[in-house]
Structure 1
Amino acid sequence: MTTLSPEAEGRIVDNIVHFARTLRKAGMPAGPATVVDAVRAVEIAGISSREDLYWTLHAVFVRKREHRVLFDEAFRIYWQSRGLVEKMLAILSPVAPPRGAPEKPKAGQTRVSQAFQASKERMNEETRPQVEVDAKFTVSGKELLQTKDFAQMTADEIAAAKQALRELAIPLDKIRQRRLKPAARGRIDPRRTLRASMRAGGDIIDLKFRRAHEKRPPLVALCDISGSMSQYTRLLLHFLHAMTEERRDVHTFLFGTRLTNVTRQLRMKDPDEALEACSEGVEDWSGGTRIATALHEFNRVWSRRVLSGSPTVLLITDGLERDTDEDLEREMDRLHRSCRRLIWLNPLLRFDGFQAKAKGIRAMLPHVDEFRAAHSLDAVADLVKALSGDGGATFETDPRRWLKAG
């Protein structure tokens, strides 16, 4: 055990306490008892290198797999950016090792950076002048964010939009099954009624009932990751990650010039880690797009695997196609006939003067049930209502309207 002066011990405790606050703001459980354990571990371990300090604190604070990414990013930002590791090593060891090159950030950087910034702002809050603003004739930032185009958002607005997408309530409408289940009311169940009567000796007839079983349909998302769709798809993947975390029957595919199944990556608990795994798993991000080729591969390889149980399919693309119209129309028709409901989300609908004049769009529209926008939080909220059965197809979402207008 290393013997420290009261002043040195106080500096170690202060640094670890502020580090724990950063972890807590980033979403990790780091209570007072954990902070005490971390201080004792650092004192006992006799830190001699940056790696020793990292793994000592890692052993105390990290309790779940999804916490690893956040801890790694918090350690990199908090300790290395401020040079606190070298100060700690100077306290705990006679010679401090040279500072190494920082590792390339991977995931969790946004949340940890914001948590670190919030900690610094809290320390300086008392010195800031208080300014009163008359907001009588202003529009709230939340209302502006709801209608703002994803492609026009700043970094802070994108972070807020990601959080809002993850917090959306995501119910799906239920469909009636042929299978019946016991119920308090409904149709009389002769078999269960007869069994109950026989158990009672045949003198009393206690009627039993049954009704149709209701099940939420699976959800399949086909997302375009071409250059024109990259910004929208990245944000909508946060929405799909929240749905995948809540329900197991959600399947997500990305396509540009080829089709990639990223369902397993989106099942990771941490959203930043999940999206980074999606980015690493595809080779054609922000490239060209071949919708017909991707749909052909999906219909041939994945259709029978994921389109059972009357699923709802979300097709997220702008419809700007490079392949021939005959192939695209044939694959869209096959996809439409394989699912219960096909919803096309197109960010081009954000333009008031949009018209369905592109050949690819006109080839796809006859084979979709709904044609919706996907460029803002309000558009995604409308989609959630549609999926829950509260806001079905209307005149604005009817694809036949756009075919006539085009």
Structure 2
Amino acid sequence: MIGCGYLGAVHAASMAQLGHEVVGVDVDEPKIAMLAAGRTPFFEPGFEELLAESLASGRLRFTTDFGDAAGARVHFVCVGTPQKRGEYAADLRYVESAVESLIGVLAAGELVVGKSTVPVGTAARLAELVGDKVPGAMLAWNPEFLREGFAVQDTVHPDRLVYGLPDENADTAHALLDEVYATIVAAETPKVVTDYATAEMVKTAANSFLATKISFINAMAELCEATGADVKQLADAIGHDDRIGRKFLNAGLGFGGGCLPKDIRAFMARAGELGADQALTFLREVDNINMRRRIRMVELAREVLDGSLLGKRVAVLGAAFKPESDDIRDSPALNVAAQLQLQGATVVLTDPAAIENCRKHWPQIDYADTAEEAARGADAVLLLTEWRQFRELDPVAFGKIVRQKRVLDGRNALDRDVWEAAGWSYRALGRRHAS
């Protein structure tokens, strides 16, 4: 397993659980030391237990030495593809470096499997490099579809497998992948066997579709605010149409994290390079709608706080980009909290998993260990990440802590009737509010 970040570490431990001998390779020495000691460098439900079991089995080990990858029959490339600084395009340096390092230990008959999310055309280029340098070695592309918070489940029990296979030796590569995923294949998991380009596009197309659905309902939220309609009821109504479905139709702050934002931008950039930029111009508006939600939440907070943020104490519940994660990359919640702080509010932020990550980037924000501590004396409470423990707060007891009972539901996750019955002023993006 080349790359032991979020994807690689989970995949390594999962493959060991499935019975394979696995070595995880990464250049980050502190990260490797943590993993080797059974400590997790990120928060992911179930991963700590899985890591401990896999290490105890003796089938999993971690190293910084690429030479230890020699002799493996299958080499997974699981490194990141971040957005280039100042551009929309993906930065492929880590993928290219990983493959070039592998070439030194690769042998004929072995298979390199790309799992990183890459622009279409990358696999064909890397396959040519591998074939030229190590005749008889093969490359396949096997995109990942992990959801943060469900990564272990999605690896061991995926909803589909996608194999992007070479024109030559396709049967051999196919057989090796089936051997790796034997338990998953035996469970009759749907499998799509295709070419490199299609396999590469599956992940970016899927993320683009999800991002579009999220931004669609947030665009409807903007119209609801202008017309007095209620976006939650609207979503419930259209969600009954099974062609549309209710999932991903919760209006609010929008998407963030390390995948959707950079993946749709890289998709647009690659389409432009291929001369097909008009096909994806709609994604620019998807991105714009998503970013406008953050601005609107800050405006709504100012409106609720009598027109000024200066000197107001604001409790922010949630910093991770989604619940069951400590990932704050492009987090709408943290972005809003930081803007409130910059515009004069005193922000006290809490999150069950992401506080330590936040401290590194925004030390000027005050942090609390619990929602109750964050809300003590608050002029307003903002729910920005829909952790279960925030959704299940008792508004009656919670109302005794704050200075003023004003709640802004940035994820449409609270029971409005219950909170209003407890005396709270309730506001949410795209929802009618009491006059």
Under TM normalisation by the shorter chain, which class is it? 0.3 to 0.5
Structure with the higher fraction of residues in helix conformation: 1
If the length of structure 2 is used for normalisation, what is the TM-score? 0.31
If the length of structure 1 is used for normalisation, what is the TM-score? 0.33
Larger radius of gyration: 1
